[in-house]
Structure 1
Amino acid sequence: MALPLAISGQDVIGQARTGTGKTYAFGVAMLQRVGKPRKNRKKPRGLVVVPTRELALQVTEDLVVAGGKLGSRILTVYGGRAYEPQIEALKQGVDVIVGTPGRLLDLVKQKHLDLTQVSMLVLDEADRMLDLGFLPDIERIMKLIPAERQTMLFSATMPGEIVGLSRRYLSRPTHVRAENADADADDVSKTTQFVYRTHRMDKIEIVGRLLQSEGRGLTMVFCETKRACDMVSEQLKERGFAAAAVHGDLGQGQREQALRAFRNGKIDVLVATDVAARGIDIDDVTHVVNYDCPQDEKAYIHRIGRTGRAGRTGVAVTFVEWEELTRWKVINNALGLDFAEPVETYSTSPNIYAELHIPEGTKGVLPRAQRSRAGLSAEHVEDLGETGRHRSRRERDERTERAERTERRERPARNRQRRRTRGGQETISPETVTEAVVAGDVLAPEAGPVVQEAAEVAAPRRSRRGANRSALSEALADVPAASAKDGGAAQEPLFDAEAEEDVVISRGIANLGDFEDTENFDDSGSDDFEDTEDTQEFGDFDDADDTEYAEDTEAAAYRPAAPEAPVARPEPERIIPPSPFAIIFRSPDLAVDDDDVAPSAASERVQQRRRPSQQRPRRG
């Protein structure tokens, strides 16, 4: 009905159910009026505006098939792709452009697209563009097109805003409404509808059993949010089903990859939001599942319209939760359905096995023997040079984890040397001190108590009774002395009988052992001394009191000052209310005895009246 009117050049408003061939109704007429391409004609003469990217691709495919013999140059323009290929195609020349409002306005703003020669404009799925907020963009596009044009508007529903738009921009349009009572009755019988009142935690189990019903082909599952799409898709993959998600957070390449895999049969379950509910024509879709209740009757019509297309049969299953009953009753009354009170159903209810033809004993997990689909990974991802690419939350997490793992693997090992300090003084590791003691090095007293402590820890323990006298002699023998060749004076021996107290005071040798009480140490005329049971490190000497005093003096020099005890602060006075519900606030008294009482406003006015008025002196 609309085709003769469109070819004759009249404005048309087409309203028909989804899947009735609205694309060819305006596509054939547009290609016929545009004619064959010419070399000297590069600006487009036909423009088709669609709400979604997937619908733009599908309309382009249908127009390419319809205009194959004419050789018409058709270009698809939508967001998510790189600008350069589209700009290059516009420079070479096109006849018909199919695009979304946003990218069309971007190209016009960049002066790459000229719409001054467009003679035919088509608005497909106008009600959906209205829902997405594209009405101001559509009005801007119409102002860029010449006033003498043919405008056709096609939609499954016709809200008041679309009627007002048609009255402003269409010239004497003809409203074509394709309805047939007998055909509608047949179509309704071919699409079997089921509505179940289910619980949120049990819906995924029902879907898992529904996907194993007899005669099931490709299935579309519609969710309300993008996060719900990802969740349902991942859970179905874990249960063994070949599923993929399509929503707005995915890149355009990923969305087209999922649709191609669904059309090619590599996956049989497509989980999507309402972005895939309009105009997507895929053969062999036998089941549609409304995982979340639709927002209104229009969304319900477009969702279940993905199945039972072109005379085929289909099954539409809708899940309604308890809090969604009111919304579903509105949809049921608007469409005149018989599901005002959905039956309460669970995954173990016998009615779903009988109504959906699910074999008895079926569980929510697909058996491994039936997992024959290749999956989404078998379909390649086309590099579209995407702009503003977005990915799903799970993929972003995987990419972040993979990047962190690569960074940890490529990070060089740390080779930083740390200095150990104690009390502001640098310490020496026990290994270094052990090497010094084994080599016989004498640690100077200037090294500090930290070094001496490390030396004591590193030095080997020696018994009181069986001390080795050779350790002291070896340590003294390794001390370098000034030779005659160097011209230096003879160095005094480090351990002398006269300076044995100094040796004890300096503590230059760490833990050299205790000397036996029965053996004498003879060196450089040193006196004999005995080791008693009270000897700790070097033995007891004659001047025991002086030695202990010297050791205490030196230790006090190296010992850090003891920290001062913290001053105890007086605790504030605690106010204990008589009742836990009472609120006590004690404000500070800032007034003093010398303060005057502030006068009131009334007293100030009285004083001003009593003051004599001061008149200004008159001039001249």
Structure 2
Amino acid sequence: MRQATLTTFRDLGVTPEIADALETEGIVTPFPIQEMALPLALSGQDLIGQARTGTGKTYAFGIAMLQSIGKPRKNRKKPRGLVIVPTRELATQVSEDLVTAAGKLGSRVLTVYGGRAYEPQIEALKAGVDVIVGTPGRLLDLVKQKHLDLSQITSLVLDEADRMLDLGFLPDIERIFKLIPAERQTMLFSATMPGEIVALSRKYLNRPTHVRAEHESGEGEATPQVRQIVWRTHRMDKIEILARLLQADGRGLTMVFCETKRACDMVAEQLDTRGFAVAAVHGDLGQGQREQALRAFRNGKIDVLVATDVAARGIDIDDVTHVVNYDCPTEDKTYVHRIGRTGRAGRTGIAVTFVEWEELTRWKMINQMLGLDFAEPEETYSTSPHVYSELSIPEGTKGVLPHAARSRAGLSAERIEDLGETGRTRTRGGRRRDEREERPARTPRQRRRTRGGKELAETAPVERPEVELVDAKTEETPAIFTADEIQAAGEPRRTRTRRGAASSAIEQALADAPEAPVKRTRSRKAAAEEPAEAPAATARTTSEEEVAQAPAKRTRTRRAAAPAEAETQVEATTDAVETATTTVTEREHQAAAPAQPARAQSAPVQPAPVPEPSFLSTPPPPARREPERIIPPSPFTVIFQSPDLATDDDDIAPSAATERKQQRRQSRGGGGGGNRRRAG
């Protein structure tokens, strides 16, 4: 409760402008820390202030700083007051309190911290400021960029001084102390002030006065308005207990503290799936997301805030009724700051701490340092009866919030502010189910069959034309070829026949020999009787109708066909030749066809007597079946598949031992017979 010996701020020496601004906000009676610290601070002395959380320490040093600086001047652009805080959220809160107190003075207060764009802060510094509230990192960055000058600072305040002077911030604080004048007023304020921090602070203060409000001991005590409950729980059951606790009667805003960032995301995601309006705040989130969560929490759009110790320092939010230590704190100061988020400014609250079996030793040390009565926490599960009775939870409550009770708008209802954040892009770990992006469906894979690096359609084997039956009496005309085709025909072509060399020799011999017309006859006698009907220069081809009517017969032979020139001069002379068919490959057709017009143009064909049948007129041997050829992927290798010549009547081949036995028997039988014959 407030214990004030003086009635108003005016009695403490506060100027009417500041006192009127505070009365407008409903702040009339000062707290004990304000009564004790304000007279000393207004006189210009260095202070070490210590009081419980939520007792108005910000106004204790803020009013004195604003009053010592006075009203702003146009020719004064460099700051005169500097407040250093450990977290960004606390910097925003302290700035709001200073703006409230300086409402009628018109003092220019600037907040600088990381995560925001530099440009607005630099423009405000160029326009002129009176008081700067910021974190050490951004302050040093602005000094390094020569946008901030601390050479005219007259009042310096370290809020949460025990945190600012620990090993994490101490190097930066020492650099800042070197940048400000030696003659200044320095004030340190915190809820917990260990003895080693007080001894270290004397290095930077000038004959300071240590002010402790309502504390006879040197350590911070827990707020008496907070009802503390400590349970020994199991790790896998804590989320169930928390879900039932959040459905207690009369519960307002609730803060849940976790040890790690990953634990924050995990708890927030599980509570979201259970129907609670929840948000997470930790260091891995962008500044815009952190401020969005705090605004939604203050405005009541969410009622559960899961945070690390980044929100345990100085965050002042009204109507916080419950604080849950989901993970046991590491030290007594952390416990005091955590539970200090509730029961502020004379209100009451409930603080529940979960202690796991392996954390009992740590908790016993905290309990001893703070003088609590929870050395042996009660073993508790989500089904324990005392959970419902101590927290006023209705009987039959489960770990899922009923749909009828889900009345909060949620975090998505709070607009996220574009702060021009610097650094890498950060994402919220526990995104809600409606915010998760669905992966686009995968397009079906298009498979292409290739051979030799090319598509199968391009490298598919060309079907060879069927064997054409040529009518001997058909008269054909020579084809007409272009000059390019004639030149291409003269170039040597590679053939894949075994008798390619013999074909080229025959082709050369026929080219040198005189050409003579050849008559198509069925026999030698018919050839002598019938006159020559037409030259046979191109007797190889027939009309399309005749080819379509002729029966098709497809054969394969290893023997290479003769060139087209020899085919035009070779005719069947016997009945066997009449029924024989000549097969050629498509490549040999293309190689031999262009050679015909060249000779046709060189010399006209003259009739000549029918020559005697040469060796070329012998009937071809019967076609032999060629093994099926397997076309491999590589064009440089040819693989033949041998045909299966075995039949069902074949006997099984004897083994080597059986053959030796048979040879021995034959040799013995043959030798014995010879001796008997000699004897006879």
TM-score, structure 1 normalization? 0.71
Deviation for aligned residue 1:238: 0.4
**Is 1:270 matched with 2:305?**
yes
- Of structures 1 and 2, the larger Rg is shown by 2
Q: Distance between the aligned counterparts of 1:296 and 1:186, measured in 2?
A: 13
C-alpha contact 1:501 1:547 (8 A) present in aligned 2 = no
Deviation of the 1:555 alpha carbon: 9.5
TM-aligned CA distance change 1:367 to 1:442, over 3 Å: same
- Following TM superposition, by how much is the alpha carbon of 1:128 offset from its aligned partner in structure 2, in angstroms? 1.7
Alignment CA distance shift 1:154-1:553 (3 Å): closer
Distance 1:192 1:101, change over 3 A: same
**Pairs within 5 Å for 1:135-534:** 135-179=170-214, 188-388=223-423, 389-394=425-430, 405=440, 419-421=450-452, 442=465, 483-484=477-478, 486=480, 489-493=537-541, 504-505=556-557, 526-527=578-579
> Among 32, 37, 43, which residue is 2:67 paired with?
32
Q: Counterparts of 2:282 and 2:162 in 1: how far apart (Å)?
A: 20
What is the deviation of 1:35? 1.1
Q: Distance in 2 between matches of 1:481 and 1:32?
A: 125
Question: 2:197 is aligned with what amino acid?
Answer: I
The corresponding residue for 1:15 is 50
Residue 175 of structure 1 and its aligned partner are, at CA, apart by 1.0
Give the C-alpha shift of residue 427 in structure 1.
Answer: 5.8
The one-letter amino acid paired with 1:486 is I
Give the equivalent residue in structure 1 for 2:118: 83
Superposition deviation, residue 37 in structure 1: 1.1
CA contact (8 A) 1:266 1:375 kept: yes
Structure 2 vs 1, CA of residues 555 and 547 (structure 1 numbering), >3 Å: closer, same or farther?
farther
Contact 1:420–1:428 (8 Å) recurs in 2: no
Q: Is the 8 A contact 2:112 2:138 kept in 1?
A: yes
Structure 2 counterpart of 1:492, one-letter code: R
1:286 alignment partner, SS class: strand
Compared CA separation, residues 245 and 43, structure 1 to 2 (3 A):
same
Given the alignment of the two structures, is residue 560 of structure 1 paired with residue 639 of structure 2, yes or no? yes
Q: Letter of the 2:157 partner, please give it.
A: V
TM-score, normalising length: structure 2: 0.65
Q: How big is the shift at 1:163?
A: 1.6
Q: Aligned pair 1:547/2:623, yes or no?
A: yes
| Residue of structure 1 in register with 2:90 after alignment | 55
Query: How far 1:483 moved relative to its partner?
Result: 3.6
The answer (yes or no) to whether the contact 2:252–2:303 under 8 Å persists in 1 is yes
Q: Which sections of structure 2, spanning at least 5 residues, go unmatched? A: 1-35, 482-535, 561-574, 582-617, 642-680
In structure 2, the CA distance between the partners of 1:64 and 1:313, relative to structure 1 (3 Å rule), is: same
Q: Deviations over 1:216-264 (max 9, x none)?
A: 0000000000000000000000000000000000000000000000000
Asked if structure 1 preserves the Cα contact closer than 8 Å seen for 2:470 and 2:540, the reply is no
Instruction: Tell me how far 1:502 sits from its aligned partner.
Output: 11
Q: Distance in 2 between matches of 1:554 and 1:157?
A: 92
Q: Give the Cα separation in 1 of the matches to 2:239 and 2:114.
A: 33
CA contact (8 A) 2:577 2:619 kept: no
Q: Which moved more, 1:382-391 or 1:238-247?
A: 382-391
SS in 2 for 1:30: helix
Q: Quick one: structure 1 residues 91 and 418, their matched pair in 2 at CA, closer, same or farther if it must change by over 3 Å? A: farther
- The 8 Å contact of residues 242 and 375 in structure 1, kept in 2 or not, is answered as yes
Q: Give the structure 1 partner of residue 168 of structure 2.
A: 133
What is the distance in 2 between the residues matched to 1:165 and 1:555? Answer: 90
C-alpha deviation, 1:528, in angstroms: 8.5
Counterpart residue type for residue 639 of structure 2: P
Q: Aligned equivalents of 1:30 and 1:544: distance in 2?
A: 121
CA-to-aligned-CA distance 1:41-94 (integer Å, 9 cap, x gap): 110000000000000000000001110111111000101111111111111110
* Distance change in 2, residues 1:393/1:214 (3 Å): closer
Quote the Cα distance in structure 1 between the aligned partners of 2:294 and 2:395: 32
Residue 398 of structure 1 and its aligned partner are, at CA, apart by 11
Aligned partner of residue 73 in structure 2, secondary structure: coil
The Cα shift of 1:506 comes to 6.6
1:391 Cα deviation from its structure 2 partner? 2.4
Cα contact 1:74–1:96 (8 A) shared by 2: yes
User: How large is the RMSD of aligned CA atoms in angstroms?
Assistant: 4.0
Change (3 A) 1:390 1:483: same
The aligned amino acid for 1:560 is: I
Instruction: Determine the C-alpha separation between the residues in 2 that align with 1:116 and 1:110.
Output: 15
What letter corresponds to residue 168 of structure 1 in structure 2? K
Count residues with an aligned counterpart: 488
Q: Tell me, yes or no, if the aligned pair for 1:2 and 1:25 is still in contact at 8 Å.
A: yes
Distance 1:476 1:382, change over 3 A: farther
Distance 1:164 1:559, change over 3 A: same
Q: Within 2, Cα distance between the matches of 1:427 and 1:277? A: 69
